[in-house]
Structure 1
């Protein structure tokens, strides 16, 4: 992959010692110069993401929602999750052979619904006067045949992810983080990388922008390493995603009103790249690791920045799901990986 550009130290840095055994070093892409020094990615990232137990799925992370919630937005998300659960149950009833594949996803949606409902009723009673009436569940119409059902479910998930991204603009920052996380999970289910350009956020000096930038530096560097082990269409996919991370990095730099965090000369990567499969595993890990940074950024005060963050988290989860499918890997079915239990319930408002 071409690593030209003044800020491509991350993408063009030398491979860290942990990525290739001594004596077996594979040359990096021609335009990736060797630079000394490495730093641990753990020191820069907010934490790892996770994936679902199916090759066409990826997992989700979440953050705590604040006490002031937009009821109608929350009801929309609750309704969506109820409908997804009903649709998955209908799919299992239509074709029992799908149960093993669908049960982990269904469990995720049930977890999402449980957490959303915790935010909906903080001792508030009937909220119909606030636009808070939750309609009964409604299953989407499904076609016949296992393959057609799976395609329909991916489309339903994609629409749900798009709705959560739009919700992030309307919700207060704390709730926006939770909705962005759920949307990322659903984008992983759909495994869709959107063709439209990502949202263009306003300038911001928020510390969370710097953390997202640090995560992108690692991703750009990591894709520069793994690209040398891929060929054909997979190498082209890696090239496309590498360029996407470079563009994302540049956008984050452009919206900062302070000096942006610089890329390190190199990073210790979580996977040794010795084959096409391990390259795909590394790519999935890189995508997983940018998701927590964007979920955190979804709590920004500016609505356009929240949408940008939600969109970015969704794209990363979709890419992760695709790489894991290529690597033939599954993962722990945790709906909210690495998240403290206290972050899954709303903080009570005074008087509640």
Structure 2
């Protein structure tokens, strides 16, 4: 893995290029006179109801673990607070009667099942991590089924869940984006084009940054950094191929980047890696608002992978294990104004 030149003469990390976000769409369906069709909930409402139930379940799991192991409170209270924030926002996005549904979604009123907590603290924490990872995987899949605005919200919440589900050794497996197996792809335009280019710019910066920080690591840490460096190179090439297939010219890498952290030690190397992965999380949450369903799901998954990688580097550098409840999601997206279905 090359060490790369030092901080430089070109712009800050490419993830900062993605600041715009599409407005979250109304959760509504088409009107009609068919009573059977009118009674069916819209797909976004189904996904949203499932997400509400999933957050209720996670909160119940955490509260049960906290009651059984009171010494865990300090460690798990931040996760409980995040999931309560998630639940509040998801409920604001749900409007009874929207999406061709005439009544409240059952998930908004039912109580979670009683939770069985392992007697050993370590096993209780492992159980919570497993539940977080499973929920995050569900959100990535649901992002591909949802309208772009809701997909972004799910991608952001899923990234937060992945962060809570990560352990100190997590985050070295990254799956590159793949293009659909169709003969021709629609041209990338508008928001989708901008989001793809922003993700690519962030990957360019990550490849450069990992080349720099690798020079300050040795042994197992160097091998981990090399694994990430290679993974980001593959992801960069995959995004370039996606843009080319969609009749767009991929944004070029800068000759060098002014990095946000000056790498002088193992700890600052971990700080830089954390910043790189955090910026990628932002970029991929943005890309989850693309028009292409497969791209939305893959972007949501990539956001989770970057968040998990950031947790790993925070642990390596003995940095605070904190992240926002809605990584990559602007405040304007938290209070939608959906309208009832017709």
C-alpha distance 351-184 of structure 1, shift in aligned 2 (>3 A): closer
Match of 2:24 in 1: 65
Match of 1:169 in 2: 144
How far does residue 137 in structure 1 lie from its aligned partner after superposition? 1.7
Aligned mate of 1:132, from 105, 112, 123: 105
TM-score by length of 2: 0.83
Q: Deviations over 1:239-272 (max 9, x none)?
A: 1111111111111000112110000011111111
* Secondary structure, counterpart of 1:309 in structure 2: helix
Contact 1:72 1:131 in 2 (8 A): no
Q: Deviations over 1:165-214 (max 9, x none)?
A: 11011111100000011111111111143758455234552221001100
C-alpha distance 67-334 of structure 1, shift in aligned 2 (>3 A): same
What is the root-mean-square deviation of aligned Cα atoms in Å?
A: 2.6
* Secondary structure, counterpart of 2:106 in structure 1: coil
Equivalent residues in 2 for 1:262-277, closer than 5 Å: 262-277=252-267
Aligned mate of 1:325, from 303, 308, 315: 315
Match of 1:335 in 2: 325
* Secondary structure, counterpart of 1:39 in structure 2: coil
Q: Deviations over 1:112-153 (max 9, x none)?
A: 0000000112x6489865782213223543211111111111
Query: 2:82 & 2:100 partners in 1: Cα distance?
Result: 26
Match of 1:117 in 2: 91
C-alpha distance 198-160 of structure 1, shift in aligned 2 (>3 A): farther
Contact 2:93 2:336 in 1 (8 A): yes
C-alpha distance 221-139 of structure 1, shift in aligned 2 (>3 A): farther
* Secondary structure, counterpart of 1:142 in structure 2: coil
Equivalent residues in 2 for 1:225-236, closer than 5 Å: 225-236=212-223
Match of 2:68 in 1: 94
Match of 2:210 in 1: 223
Aligned mate of 2:274, from 278, 284, 305: 284
Contact 2:24 2:336 in 1 (8 A): yes
1:156 aligns with 2:134: no
Q: Deviations over 1:78-112 (max 9, x none)?
A: 11000000000000001000001110111000000
Match of 1:210 in 2: 197
Contact 1:115 1:344 in 2 (8 A): yes
Contact 2:26 2:338 in 1 (8 A): yes
Match of 1:41 in 2: 13
Query: 1:148 & 1:75 partners in 2: Cα distance?
Result: 30
Contact 2:7 2:262 in 1 (8 A): no
Query: 2:339 & 2:102 partners in 1: Cα distance?
Result: 19
Equivalent residues in 2 for 1:243-258, closer than 5 Å: 243-256=230-243, 257-258=247-248
Consecutive aligned runs of 4 or more in structure 1 exceeding 6 Å deviation: 125-128
TM-score by length of 1: 0.81
Query: 2:5 & 2:53 partners in 1: Cα distance?
Result: 49
Aligned mate of 1:77, from 48, 51, 70: 51
C-alpha distance 273-255 of structure 1, shift in aligned 2 (>3 A): same
For these two proteins, the number of residue pairs brought into alignment is: 309
Query: 1:113 & 1:81 partners in 2: Cα distance?
Result: 6
How far does residue 345 in structure 1 lie from its aligned partner after superposition? 1.4
